[in-house]
């Protein structure tokens, strides 16, 4: 069940906030950290936004399209994990195959619904984006698109 307060609002994390360098080499068979977003003091953040209605009516969405230098979609699995300030994984909040979430960059009603998580992060905790490609590849930030709806609340 999601928390509903009047000071909550939707925001979207993008590739510049979740991929930390221009290129990231990712060996096949293991999850490689692409980057992370750290929660600043005074904010509480949860992945996703609003409740899950249905495919066309959901408010929160996620779209991830990791590409190489060609540019071409890199087949594999990506993961969003919650991390503590001590760099300990608290939970895996979302994991998905690239070909499922990279199909429609412009029509939000065809992107994956992404309801608000029940887990909220506060001061200095982080969302981490990792990727496990089917074949060793290099993710290129300039060619990739990441749009992850989040719920923010000022505390």
Condensed to tens digits (0 to 9), the pLDDT of residues 95-139 reads 999 988 877 777 777 788 788 888 899 988 999 999 999 999 999
Inter-residue contact 131 to 109 (CB < 8 Å): no
Torsion (CA) 39, 33, 98, 58 in degrees, nearest 10: -10
- Residue-wise pLDDT for 5-21, tens only, equals 568 888 999 999 999 99
End-to-end CA distance of the chain: 20
- Residue-wise pLDDT for 32-77, tens only, equals 999 999 999 889 999 988 765 554 555 788 899 999 999 999 999 9
Q: How many domains is the chain partitioned into structurally?
A: 1
Q: Looking at the domain assignment, is residue 1 inside a domain?
A: no
Rounded to two decimals, what is the model's pTM? 0.88
**Residue 23, domain CATH:** 2.60.120.1170
Q: Looking at the domain assignment, is residue 43 inside a domain?
A: yes
Q: Looking at the domain assignment, is residue 116 inside a domain?
A: yes
Domain extent, residue 108, equals 8-154
Beta-carbon count within 10 A of 42 CB: 9
Q: Looking at the domain assignment, is residue 138 inside a domain?
A: yes
């Amino acid at each position: 069940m999601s928390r509903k307060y009047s000071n909550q609002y939707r925001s979207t994390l993008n590739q510049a906030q979740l991929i930390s360098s221009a290129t990231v080499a990712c060996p096949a068979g293991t999850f490689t950290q692409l980057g992370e977003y750290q929660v600043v003091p005074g904010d509480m953040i949860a992945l996703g936004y609003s409740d899950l209605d249905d495919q066309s009516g959901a408010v929160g969405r996620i779209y991830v399209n990791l590409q190489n230098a060609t540019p071409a979609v890199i087949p594999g699995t990506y993961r969003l994990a919650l991390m503590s300030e001590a760099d300990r994984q608290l939970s895996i909040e979302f994991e998905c195959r690239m070909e499922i979430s990279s199909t429609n960059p412009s029509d939000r009603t065809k992107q994956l619904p992404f309801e608000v998580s029940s887990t909220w992060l506060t001061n200095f905790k982080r969302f981490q984006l990792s990727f496990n490609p089917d074949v060793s590849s290099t993710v290129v930030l300039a060619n990739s698109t990441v749009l992850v709806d989040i719920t923010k609340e000022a505390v």
